[in-house]
Amino acid sequence: MAQVFIPSQLTAYTDGATRVEAMGATVGEVLDDLDRRFPGLKFRVIDEQDRVRKHMRLFIGQDETRSVGAPLSESGELLIFGALSGG
């Protein structure tokens, strides 16, 4: 079970939760599981071509990834952040 950090921009989908658990061995699988439970969340992070949106950042533990195919590490931690995106 992956531990996922949810940024403030997405807590409207998770009833305010900033830490949730999700199933999946890759970034994409975890986001798919999140989207089943919190409909609409994935598309606001990942576009229709499976690219991470420009102003979103994903980290597997300490390591940034921009691939939905990236496997989660043993820690099973996925961190989602809103990057700087202007005023």
**What is the number of other CB atoms lying within 10 angstroms of the CB of residue 79?**
17
| Residue 59: exposure state from Cβ atoms within 10 A (0-12, 13-18, ≥19) | middle
- Residue 7 or 76 having the CB closest to other proteins: 7
59 binds other proteins (CB under 8 A): no
Asked if residue 83 binds other proteins (CB under 8 A), the reply is yes
Q: Is 29 in the site for other proteins (CB under 8 A)?
A: no
Q: Rounded CA gap, 53 and 76, in Å?
A: 22
50 binds other proteins (CB under 8 A): yes
Q: For other proteins, give the closer residue by CB, 11 or 76.
A: 11
H helix runs in 1-87, sequence order: 27-37
Record the tokens describing residue 37, joined without a space: 């439970």
Residues interacting with other proteins, by CB under 8 A? Answer: 7, 9-10, 39-40, 43-51, 53, 55-56, 82-83, 85-86
